[in-house]
Amino acid sequence: MRLSELKSAGRTPGLPLNVELADAAGPAQLQLLSLLRVLPGQRYVGAAVWRGRPVLAKLLVGSKAARHFQRELQGVRLLAEQGLKTPQLLADGLSEGEGGWLLFEFLDAAHSLADAWHAVESLTPLADEQQAVLAQALTAIGQMHAKGLWQEDLHLDNLLRQDGKLYLIDGAGIHAEQAGKPLSRNRVLENLGVFFAQLPKKFEPYTEELLVHYLLSNGEHALPLEALQKQVRKVSAWRLRDFLGKVGRECTLFSVLRGPFALRAIRREEEAAMLAVLEQADTLLDQGHVYKTGGAASVAKVEVAGRPLVIKRYNIKGFAHWLKRFWRPSRAWHSWREGNRLAFLGIATPKPLALLEKRCFWLRSQAYLVTEYLPGPDIIERFAPYVESGEAPEVELLALDHLFAELIDERISHGDFKGHNLFWHEDRWALIDLDSMCQHASLGSFAPAYAKDRARFMRNWPQGSALYQVIDQRLPKEIGGAV
């Protein structure tokens, strides 16, 4: 295959794949064995063999190939020139009309710090194992900043660990302010904001403690904590907007089909399984354990290949109801977006797996949402033994405090906060039924919505009960001075 033909190879070309390349020694074939990252029609990154040697190949095609090649090459050279550890560039080339390629030494048995982080992320903050991973990352970032460089696309996947050594990768995101001289304080704060914004919110109280690891490798500037936290909030807001923009379009994370007869969105890793579920959604609903049927929605627990799922079908009750619904996004779409919002923010909710809106020349009709199934009890069942005594387990009351704190911090209102929409799962309270959920842009709109949520939540128990009194005393009544 010619390099230019990769442009039409799609997201999953057949492997192994032989690609014709040429360097100073003459033409040869690169055998591509596996793919690690793919941007269809533009970038293919994977393990390969070149002239009998294992390599990491970056193949760049399409109209932007030359620009992407130059950015990658410049970044790799900057890292090497400043003595920063990065995989050796073995060969590269750019051919007009074909594309560009860069071949790096293959780091056998190397793992990203992202993999190391995922293995310890669920531990209690700030566990020694977590601190070890983040310390390595911050030390490497500090060393880079001390040399006047920064990684625009700064995340743990761009740090590889092999035999205790850490390698910086992805030259396309490497920039220099003044190579060889320490980065300015403003640029340091901006770049560290990108890093800390990717950590779960529960790590916010430990920012200052973690910053020590950075300062040990680059103590050029005093870094005011307040300024860093402001930058983290700014980047966090941008990351959320960027992520929500992806839930409805074709990208690495989601497989999306949008047309006059359907809108279908599936988490990329679930695509094969969920296509089969959506094709037989009505049959599965009829055969499943039905929680709710008829009216505006039908909900059932179903089992597919031994895996429990929940399917929710949003019905059209009649012509008058269709006239109200066809012109605006479906409630399934709203729940899909808000479920992904909660998951991104680290707030417990069943993982949204797939969405389907049926359409007729863009006019919406029935819609379906598929999520993971939560086996835990809802809060009414869980707290039923404690209504009169008020002696609910402290761990569950603390988890409730934490959930409300998260919602307040993010200015999120649920819209239907009855007890049946709150499930106990893996030592957390998880929210379901997100049809009316809203993240508010201002305190002015959030405060009354929160008051309404709180009032509805408290109606789950008799006002005179001991449990009501316990929960009422714990949950915030005032939000930013508003009642």
How do residues 193-241 score in pLDDT, each as one tens digit?
A: 999 999 998 899 999 999 999 999 999 998 999 999 999 999 999 999 9
Burial class (CB in 10 A: 0-12, 13-18, 19+), 424: buried
On whether the CB atoms of residues 379 and 419 are closer than 8 A, the answer is: yes
Mark whether 388 and 270 lie in a shared domain.
no
Mark whether 332 and 459 lie in a shared domain.
no
On whether the CB atoms of residues 367 and 314 are closer than 8 A, the answer is: yes
Mark whether 82 and 141 lie in a shared domain.
no
In a domain, 483, yes or no: no
On whether the CB atoms of residues 352 and 343 are closer than 8 A, the answer is: yes
Mark whether 126 and 95 lie in a shared domain.
no
Cα separation, 280 vs 175, in Å, equals: 50
Nearest CA-CA partner of 23 in 46, 47, 55: 55
What's the pLDDT score for residue 481? 47
In a domain, 480, yes or no: no
Rounded mean pLDDT, 113-137: 95
Label the pairing between strands 438-439 and 412-413: antiparallel
Inform me whether the pLDDT recorded for 446 exceeds 60. Answer: yes
In a domain, 481, yes or no: no
Token readout for 63 is 């109209």
Cα separation, 480 vs 451, in Å, equals: 12
Token readout for 351 is 């993982």
Core vs surface per residue 183-204: b (16+ CB within 10 A) or e: beeebbbbbbbbbbbbbebebe
Residue 13's CATH number: 3.30.200.20
Mark whether 56 and 121 lie in a shared domain.
no
Cα separation, 211 vs 207, in Å, equals: 6
Nearest CA-CA partner of 148 in 54, 83, 216, 72: 83
Mark whether 384 and 368 lie in a shared domain.
no
On whether the CB atoms of residues 80 and 164 are closer than 8 A, the answer is: no
Q: How many domains does the chain have?
A: 4
DSSP state for residue 457 in the 8-state scheme: H
Cα separation, 384 vs 392, in Å, equals: 9
In a domain, 482, yes or no: no
Q: Which of 115-119, 134-138, 287-291 shows the lowest mean pLDDT across its residues?
A: 287-291
Q: Residue 192: which H helix or E strand, with range?
A: helix 185-196
What's the pLDDT score for residue 321? 56
Residue 239's CATH number: 1.10.510
Bond preceding residue 3 cis, omega within 30 of 0: no
Inform me whether the pLDDT recorded for 108 exceeds 50. Answer: yes
Q: What percent of the chain clears pLDDT 90, i.e. is strictly above it?
A: 86
Nearest CA-CA partner of 330 in 310, 311, 314: 314
On whether the CB atoms of residues 210 and 134 are closer than 8 A, the answer is: yes
Bond preceding residue 16 cis, omega within 30 of 0: yes
DSSP state for residue 203 in the 8-state scheme: G
Containing domain of residue 214, as a range?
111-246
Cα separation, 277 vs 302, in Å, equals: 10
**C-alpha neighbours within 13 Å on the C-beta side of residue 262:** 10
Mean pLDDT of the chain: 93
Mark whether 203 and 239 lie in a shared domain.
yes
What's the pLDDT score for residue 259? 85
Rounded mean pLDDT, 104-133: 94
Inform me whether the pLDDT recorded for 74 exceeds 90. Answer: yes
In a domain, 367, yes or no: yes
Mark whether 119 and 235 lie in a shared domain.
yes
Residue at a domain's end among 194, 226, 246? 246
What's the pLDDT score for residue 483? 40
Residue at a domain's end among 246, 278, 303? 246
What's the pLDDT score for residue 342? 97
Mark whether 115 and 236 lie in a shared domain.
yes
Nearest CA-CA partner of 335 in 357, 317, 362: 357
Mark whether 99 and 194 lie in a shared domain.
no
On whether the CB atoms of residues 67 and 99 are closer than 8 A, the answer is: no
Residue at a domain's end among 328, 349, 372? 372
In a domain, 339, yes or no: yes
Q: List pLDDT tens digits, range 287-346.
A: 999 887 767 789 999 999 999 999 999 887 665 655 566 646 788 999 999 999 999 999
Mark whether 153 and 36 lie in a shared domain.
no
In a domain, 479, yes or no: no
On whether the CB atoms of residues 76 and 171 are closer than 8 A, the answer is: yes
Rounded mean pLDDT, 414-428: 95
In a domain, 235, yes or no: yes
Cα separation, 12 vs 15, in Å, equals: 9
396-to-347, 401, 425 alpha-carbon distances in Å: 15, 9, 11
Mark whether 281 and 359 lie in a shared domain.
yes
> Would you call 85 helix, strand, or coil by DSSP?
coil
Label the pairing between strands 262-267 and 254-258: antiparallel
What's the pLDDT score for residue 448? 95
